[in-house]
Amino acid sequence: MASLYTKVKLYLEANSKTWDSEKDNIQLQNDGSGDYIHTWNVSGLAKPSDEQLATYNSSATTDENNHQIRKTRRTAYGDIGEQLDEIFKDIDAWKARIQSIKDANPKE
* 3-state SS track over the chain: CCCHHHHHHHHHHHCCCCCCCCCCCEEEEECCCCEEEEEECCCCCCCCCHHHHHCCHHHHHHHHHHHHHHHHHHHHHCCHHHHHHHHHHHHHHHHHHHHHHHHHCCCC
Q: Tens digit of pLDDT for each residue in 13-59?
A: 999 998 877 676 899 999 998 999 999 999 899 999 999 999 999 99
pLDDT band per the 50, 70, 90 thresholds, residue 1:
confident
The number of C-alpha atoms within 13 Å of 18 and in the hemisphere containing its C-beta is 4
Give the per-residue pLDDT at 108. Answer: 85
Q: Which residue has the higher pLDDT, 1 or 91?
A: 91
pTM of the model: 0.75
- Listed by start position, the domains of the chain span 4-104
- Closest residue by Cα to residue 19 from 54, 45, 1: 45
